[in-house]
Amino acid sequence: MPLTLYNTLTRRKEPFAPIEPGKVRMYVCGITAYNYFHVGNARVFVIFDVVRRYLQWLGYEVRYVQNFTDIDDKILNRAVADGTTMQAIADRFIAAYFEDADRLNILRADAYPRATHTIDGIQRLIHELEQRQYAYAADGDVYYAVRQFPEYGKLSGRKLDEMQAGASGRVDVEEDADKKKDPADFALWKAAKPGEPSWESPWGNGRPGWHVECSAMVRDELGELIDIHAGGMDLTFPHHENEIAQSEAVTGKPLARYWLHNGFINMDGEKMSKSLGNFRLTRDLLAKYDPMAFRLFVLQAQYRKPIDFTSDALEAAENGWKTLKEALQFEMQFAALSGWSPVNATELSQKSVELDQEAVDRFNEAMDDDFNTPIALSVIFELAKTLTREGNQLVHQGKPDLPIAQLQRQWQTFISLLKVLGLDVQQPSRFVVRTGQPGLLEIFGDGGTFAVGLTDAEVDALVQQRQEARQAKNWAESDRIRNELQAQGVTLIDHKDGVTRWHRN
């Protein structure tokens, strides 16, 4: 089955066929840089990062562009509140975007156009719209005349006559109302207000409206017709509807072949929204949870479905990520006991390796079906289960049950598929050498050649030994054992009843 994806424009799943064979041009609407981005934004960036990685996995060369809106009322308001400039606010939150996105292992885009760096392209587009009678100037503003574009509403399925008057997104409706010929018209250019940044233009000093920025940036960076235009579902109307109206009125061609929109994140059962005050910033979330656990949380749902953000769901994702990390120990166990050195994650991207074709086929089949990541993940978890089991067999019995060549293929497949989903597979950099005597552990750095994690029985034995030290009030010894276990990723919890329980991190 070829890759099929749900196209918001046609409201059905369609086979994917790029404009130019082997190449994909893709645009994702980015942040408005007035704050740290919230978890709803994070879902957008993770999902379309996975779409990009999967297209690359299928062999496509992907050009991926994501913009920054760096001029907007929200940024101006924040600049006033903070006593600084619009540019300083935008620069600060663009830098913060990269910090948070990097932690989520989101690949860097090929280009990050900024609205304020695209003023020429924006003015050219507005000028062309004016020439073709799709735009009119009014008192220093320029508006798009939606009734001139017969296909207006084709993306969102809204009919012009049913739309609420002035539903033009971020434009301040009240003060513009008397300048518009039709309440549904939206601003392409806004006359300068005192004290605000502005640019010279044929219509007087002013600044661009939000929607026209993206039309101009897509055209500048990717051309007049692109393969995939993507964003959160809330952008379908008016933002993407308006982008279509602007771009297609000028070029006479479709702006994008496929329009992809992801579902919302609900916070404890309610839609996340500013008015409900239940917004969560990604940065706050990452202070508490592993970024890869959040990534896993996002990918556990098909991207068009809503997902419920609860602490239980995040903790479940953390456990899931621990399971995958445990399977990553396999490489060390194997290197230590079998003499075989598996291809590690870094090498894997540099050479072609043999894979478990059956697992790859099932993974691809799921992803080909409109990026069904929950099913794709189940293939990865099955591989993890086998690797962990075989790794334990190796430690306990000195040899695995499955043939080494098969395990090697499974290992390589496990690492490769994790990478397709952007789940960071950096292996532990600290190796532990087992001396054969419980409690005598030495830790070596990256150069270690003999590396084995502790078995459950050995952890139990150490915990018992520590218990005896505590009873003898030998606190130094008790702490030493705790620290050694900690260094190997085992955390101890002393309960009030005197029992010590442990878990792997």
Partnered with residue 138 across adjacent β-strands are 141
Nearest to Zn ion of 138, 167 (CB atom): 167
Q: How far apart are CA 68 and CA 113, in angstroms?
A: 6
Shortest Å distance, C-beta 49 to Zn ion: 17
- 307-309 and 141-144: which strand pairing? unpaired
Shortest Å distance, C-beta 184 to Zn ion: 19
Host H or E run for residue 231:
strand 226-232
Q: Is 365 left (phi over 0), alpha (psi -120 to 50) or beta?
A: alpha
**91-150: contacts with Zn ion (CB under 5 A):** none
Q: How many CB atoms lie within 10 A of CB 158?
A: 18
Q: How far apart are CA 285 and CA 315, in angstroms?
A: 12
Of 28, 71, 214, 451, the residue at the interface with Zn ion (CB under 5 A) is 214
Please identify, among the stretches 31-39, 142-150, 208-216, 452-460, the one whose residues bind Zn ion according to the rule CB under 5 A: 208-216
Shortest Å distance, C-beta 214 to Zn ion: 3
Please identify, among the stretches 23-31, 123-131, 435-443, 485-493, the one whose residues bind Zn ion according to the rule CB under 5 A: 23-31
Shortest Å distance, C-beta 238 to Zn ion: 11
First to last CA, the chain: 40
Nearest to Zn ion of 122, 285 (CB atom): 122
Nearest to Zn ion of 117, 480 (CB atom): 117
Nearest to Zn ion of 37, 363 (CB atom): 37
Please identify, among the stretches 102-110, 211-219, 433-441, 469-477, the one whose residues bind Zn ion according to the rule CB under 5 A: 211-219
Q: What is the DSSP letter of 289?
A: S
**161-200: contacts with Zn ion (CB under 5 A):** none
Nearest to Zn ion of 153, 209 (CB atom): 209
Q: How far apart are CA 295 and CA 424, in angstroms?
A: 10
Please identify, among the stretches 3-11, 27-35, 86-94, 454-462, the one whose residues bind Zn ion according to the rule CB under 5 A: 27-35
Shortest Å distance, C-beta 44 to Zn ion: 11
Please identify, among the stretches 25-33, 53-61, 129-137, 481-489, the one whose residues bind Zn ion according to the rule CB under 5 A: 25-33
Nearest to Zn ion of 44, 432 (CB atom): 44
Nearest to Zn ion of 220, 318 (CB atom): 220
Virtual torsion, Cα 80, 85, 90, 93, nearest 10 deg? -70
Q: How far apart are CA 367 and CA 302, in angstroms?
A: 10
Residues 367, 417 contacting (CB under 8 angstroms)? no
Partnered with residue 191 across adjacent β-strands are 206
Shortest Å distance, C-beta 495 to Zn ion: 53
Q: Quick one: 264 exposed, middle or buried, by C-beta within 10 A (0-12, 13-18, 19+)?
A: middle
Q: How many residues bind Zn ion (CB under 5 A)?
A: 2
Residues 410, 383 contacting (CB under 8 angstroms)? yes
Of 9, 29, 122, 191, the residue at the interface with Zn ion (CB under 5 A) is 29
Nearest to Zn ion of 68, 431 (CB atom): 68
Token pair belonging to 150: 């017969």
Cis bond leading into 238, ω under 30°?
Answer: yes
Shortest Å distance, C-beta 158 to Zn ion: 18
Task: Return residues touching Zn ion (CB under 5 A).
Answer: 29, 214
